[in-house]
Amino acid sequence: MFGGIDPALLIASLMVASVPILLAAIGELVVEKAGVLNLGVEGMMIMGAVCGFITAVVTGSPALGFLGGAAGGAGLSLLFALLTQVMQANQVASGLALTLFGLGLSSLLGQGYVGIKPPHTGVVPFGPLADIPFFGKVIFGHDPLVYLSVLAVAAVWAFLRHARGGLILRAVGESHEAAHALGYKVRRIRVLAILFGGAMAGLGGAYVSLVRVPQWTDGITAGAGWIALAIVVFASWRPWRVLLGAWLFGGITVLQLNLQAAGSGIPVEYLSMSPYLITILVLVIMSSGRGRAALNAPASLGQNFHAAR
Binding residues (CB under 8 A) for another protein: these are 39, 79, 82-83, 87-90, 92-94, 96-97, 100-105, 107-108, 111, 218, 222-223, 226, 229-230, 233, 267, 269, 272-273, 276-277, 279-280, 283-284, 287-288, 292, 294, 306, 308
Nearer to another protein, 178 or 277 (CB): 277
| Shortest CB 43 distance to another protein, Å | 8
| Shortest CB 154 distance to another protein, Å | 26
| Shortest CB 151 distance to another protein, Å | 27
**What torsion do the CA atoms of 113, 114, 120, 123 make, to the nearest 10 degrees?**
120
Nearer to another protein, 27 or 62 (CB): 27
Nearer to another protein, 85 or 121 (CB): 85
Nearer to another protein, 79 or 211 (CB): 79
CB 160 within 8 A of CB 169: yes
| Shortest CB 232 distance to another protein, Å | 10
DSSP string, 238-257: -HHHHHHHHHHHHHHHHHHH
Residue 207 contacts by C-beta under 8 Å, 6 or more apart in sequence?
Answer: 19, 20, 23, 52, 66, 69, 145
Nearer to another protein, 145 or 194 (CB): 194
Neighbours of 288 (CB within 10 A): 11
First-to-final CA distance of the chain: 64
| Shortest CB 276 distance to another protein, Å | 4
Helices (H), the chain: 7-33, 41-59, 62-81, 91-109, 135-138, 144-162, 164-174, 176-181, 186-207, 224-234, 239-262, 268-287
Nearer to another protein, 174 or 218 (CB): 218
Compute the C-alpha angle 223/88/94, nearest 5°: 15
| Shortest CB 108 distance to another protein, Å | 4
